[in-house]
Chain A
């Protein structure tokens, strides 16, 4: 894709202004969604004692939470497509709060599964996806930076949530902590309030009404002229028939764009990422146990994770800035594949690290690679499918990733238990990620070439004097697939369609 990414939103995103407030809100939401399950593990010991259950039973809570957060993606997408980001995030925050407050009064582990696992998990899902989606609506030119900053919320939140949880637990016990955490999660509602709906709709409402008034008579004139020029009335009829058919599919696609599965870039991203997540989270989960295994004491092992988080925190916005530069942005997919492969290489080299200094070096590089991948995770998807269809894309991608994300650490754990050695787990993670990185690299090379070819064809067609197009037309025809716009853009879409029928009666898009 060229640097001047044509915006298929139908309007020019502000790339600043209120957008930065949106980024701030998004970083809060994203931070909670990613770090809450991790920070929750502090309560495990106490809950184990109170309910007399084993560790694996209590660990189900976070597994259910993660699974619901990622699995709730499509539902999130549907809701955002229908209602926009803001109400969904605010509802999500409310749901999280309710979940945790009711968890404070639970009397059995099953109730905890439901309250903390499902309800809070689903609330976090309603937080995560819309936050990422709305960044694409507010930013275009500076989107990688915005994405990097928003994703940086995750390590920042981790550094604050973990000690906060410990403090709450020491002072209020687990029930009181859940109550207060419920209130803290309500802050996602504040983040959601910042997500002002955007679209040229807001500004052009006034213009649109006046313009439509002007164009309505024009439309009728052209239609009448077409009717007269065409002896049969067929074109109009076929048009209505086609419209009817499309309405059915369009309706489904309006909520969740399944036509994305025909999109080449989307499929590449999906396969590559699903593969990558198999080895993504396991090393973090096992870093501290591995450190203890080779003889490092508990505090130093925990410090390794802190180093990771700090490097991660710095790496994410930095990667955003780098990805935004004019050298990288056009070929951002390569940068993404490179960072995945870099991540994989870190893991492959980890078994060679001996002693504490070796592990510190590994943590630094791992933090860097982890931050790079996370910062560009959603940016690359936006880059491939465009911001308008990103809403559905993110939902479909997260539910597919859900399986491998959940499988990754247990597979790693099984490897460790079978061989009694951590190095096989690192090798497996590293190999999977290097494979994913290489796959993405090759496929994106192919994709870029195909896109360049299509661009050439489009330019050739443009020279064709037969079909007159407006600027909007050119953009919407470029992808040759239905565009999905959020409700904030509906008025705009009607306007565009009005223009289409006016200028180009027979050409269906």
Chain B
């Protein structure tokens, strides 16, 4: 069957969240979806240290309609990064690209605000690697008459000063390099009415499993964590001991735990020789450049007595039913035989009386066949 993986390719995503408002085609935006990062990712998440990345480890390969080659310098990864000089036009934004040392992608997210004031529009943005992000709030063309007196961009409670304004939109530019820059950014347009939009910048979420994984004592269990769209740098597994989370060191306890990290966006934790103590919650943590993300999995270890009870119950039911069927058959056969005996008896009597009268009545018996 053909694997339909259209999601893997980058596409133009329209983020107009306005309802009665302008047509979606007004302001096309691009967003990066499913950038496939490959290669040996040696650096840990950027913590602001001036770690120079020696080699072009990260190649962001993105298939896209409009690709732009960026010529970038070999600058150390850290806070100060030279941007590849993007031309940011409000109309169309392209993305990155094939790059050498600068691991930046340019992203623009825009929200079109509609006339519904009161409830803020929320937008979740997932980032797994450092990027330059432009967030903009704009009014639908339908409402030019609404005079916006004041526009405020905030991160949490902190106001952001530098706002780019165009005809109908207000935007800010952010350079996200580490987890400090993630969070919730809100724009508030105050005029006659107040419009608010909130952008949540976060690392990709790892989904655990809602239902517990069931296994048995002495058995082996494999727990899987996947990160479908974003490939993490590495994975770590934790088990819960009381209220703490302890990292699982598979090289130390190699006859108990085996961790498989290939391919990079999936990880397997194999636990051998299960005991009751292994019961509990496990966490798989994906490490991205911009932070970590955890998924929860639950393991339940049962003894074989647990399924044995229903098994024995059903077995008993089967035996009882078979016995009932056979007993009923024996009973009904007895009844039939009894009835036949009576009939035979009657017939013999009849024959006797008829023979004594000289009448052949063997025809009745033949008819029985």
Query: Of the candidates A49, A175, A286, which one forms a contact with B222 in the assembled complex, judged by CB atoms under 8 Å apart?
Result: A49
Q: Does A200 make an interface contact (CB < 8 A)?
A: yes
Q: Using Cβ atoms and an 8 Å threshold, which residues of chain A touch B302?
A: 172-173, 176
The closest CB in chain B to the CB of A170 belongs to B211
What 0/1 readout, one digit per residue, does chain B (36-48) give for beta carbons within 8 Å of chain A? 0000000000000
Q: Using Cβ atoms and an 8 Å threshold, which residues of chain B touch A175?
A: 215-216, 219, 307
- List which A171-191 residues lie within 8 A (CB) of chain B: 171-173, 175-177, 179-180, 182-184, 186-187, 189-190
Query: Of the candidates B213, B325, B368, which one forms a contact with A194 in the assembled complex, judged by CB atoms under 8 Å apart?
Result: B325
| A-binding segment of B72-80, B147-155, B161-169, B313-321 | B313-321
CB distance from A44 to the nearest CB of B (A): 14
CB distance from A180 to the nearest CB of B (A): 5
Q: How far is the CA of A183 from the CA of B314 in the complex (A)?
A: 6
- Are B311's CB and A183's CB within 8 A? yes
Q: Using Cβ atoms and an 8 Å threshold, which residues of chain B touch A189?
A: 318, 322
- List which B8-57 residues lie within 8 A (CB) of chain A: none
Q: How many A-B residue pairs have CB under 8 A?
A: 89
What 0/1 readout, one digit per residue, does chain A (388-425) give for beta carbons within 8 Å of chain B? 00000000000000000000000001001100100000
Query: Of the candidates A177, A186, A417, which one forms a contact with B318 in the assembled complex, judged by CB atoms under 8 Å apart?
Result: A186
The closest CB in chain A to the CB of B260 belongs to A52
Q: Using Cβ atoms and an 8 Å threshold, which residues of chain B touch A182?
A: 311
- Are A187's CB and B318's CB within 8 A? yes
What 0/1 readout, one digit per residue, does chain B (314-334) give for beta carbons within 8 Å of chain A? 110010011001100100000
- List which B199-228 residues lie within 8 A (CB) of chain A: 211, 213-216, 219-222, 224
Q: Does A451 make an interface contact (CB < 8 A)?
A: no
CB distance from B84 to the nearest CB of A (A): 37
Q: Using Cβ atoms and an 8 Å threshold, which residues of chain B touch A190?
A: 318, 321-322, 325
What 0/1 readout, one digit per residue, does chain A (255-294) give for beta carbons within 8 Å of chain B? 0000000000000000000000000000000100100110
Q: Using Cβ atoms and an 8 Å threshold, which residues of chain A touch B308?
A: 179
Q: Does B346 make an interface contact (CB < 8 A)?
A: no
- Are A207's CB and B213's CB within 8 A? no
- Are B216's CB and A176's CB within 8 A? yes
Q: Using Cβ atoms and an 8 Å threshold, which residues of chain B touch A292?
A: 4
- Are A193's CB and B215's CB within 8 A? no
CB distance from A52 to the nearest CB of B (A): 8
What 0/1 readout, one digit per residue, does chain B (259-294) give for beta carbons within 8 Å of chain A? 000000000100000000000000000000000000
- Are A293's CB and B4's CB within 8 A? yes
* Tier of interface size on chain A: 35 or more
What 0/1 readout, one digit per residue, does chain A (202-221) give for beta carbons within 8 Å of chain B? 01101100110000000000
- Are B222's CB and A417's CB within 8 A? no
Q: Does B369 make an interface contact (CB < 8 A)?
A: yes
Q: Using Cβ atoms and an 8 Å threshold, which residues of chain B touch A293?
A: 1-2, 4
Q: Using Cβ atoms and an 8 Å threshold, which residues of chain A touch B213?
A: 173
Question: Known: A193-B326, A417-B1, A417-B2. Contact between A211 and B318, CB under 8 A?
Answer: no
Question: Known: A173-B213, A183-B314, A289-B1. Contact between A193 and B221, CB under 8 A?
Answer: no
- Are A179's CB and B307's CB within 8 A? yes
Contact residues of A: prevailing secondary structure:
helix
Tally of chain B residues near chain A (CB < 8 A): 35
Question: Known: A173-B215, A176-B302, A194-B325. Contact between A416 and B1, CB under 8 A?
Answer: yes
CB distance from B238 to the nearest CB of A (A): 20
- Are A200's CB and B2's CB within 8 A? no
CB distance from A170 to the nearest CB of B (A): 6
CB distance from B17 to the nearest CB of A (A): 22
CB distance from B259 to the nearest CB of A (A): 14
- Are B310's CB and A180's CB within 8 A? yes
The closest CB in chain B to the CB of A169 belongs to B214
Q: Does A479 make an interface contact (CB < 8 A)?
A: no
Q: How far is the CA of A177 from the CA of B216 in the complex (A)?
A: 12
Q: Does A50 make an interface contact (CB < 8 A)?
A: yes
The closest CB in chain B to the CB of A292 belongs to B4
Query: Of the candidates B219, B307, B321, B369, which one forms a contact with A193 in the assembled complex, judged by CB atoms under 8 Å apart?
Result: B321
Query: Of the candidates B304, B310, B315, B369, which one forms a contact with A200 in the assembled complex, judged by CB atoms under 8 Å apart?
Result: B369
Q: Does A196 make an interface contact (CB < 8 A)?
A: yes
CB distance from A410 to the nearest CB of B (A): 12
Q: Which of A173, A190, A204 has the most CB of B within 10 A?
A: A173
Q: Does B355 make an interface contact (CB < 8 A)?
A: no
Question: Known: A172-B306, A172-B307. Contact between A183 and B318, CB under 8 A?
Answer: yes
Q: Using Cβ atoms and an 8 Å threshold, which residues of chain B touch A186?
A: 314-315, 318
Q: How far is the CA of A196 from the CA of B326 in the complex (A)?
A: 9
Q: How far is the CA of A358 from the CA of B178 in the complex (A)?
A: 50
Q: Which of A170, A182, A183, A413 has the most CB of B within 10 A?
A: A183
What 0/1 readout, one digit per residue, does chain A (412-449) give for beta carbons within 8 Å of chain B? 01001100100000000000000000000000000000
Chosen A-B contacts, 8 in total, with CB atoms closer than 8 Å, are A173-B215, A177-B307, A187-B321, A193-B326, A206-B340, A207-B365, A289-B1, A292-B4
Nearest 4 pairs of A and B residues by beta carbon: A176-B307, A173-B214, A183-B314, A193-B325
Interface positions of B (Cβ within 8 A of A): 1-2, 4, 211, 213-216, 219-222, 224, 268, 302, 304, 306-308, 310-312, 314-315, 318, 321-322, 325-326, 329, 340, 344, 365, 368-369
Besides A211-B369, A293-B1, 4 more A-B contacts (Cβ < 8 Å) are A171-B214, A183-B310, A189-B318, A417-B2
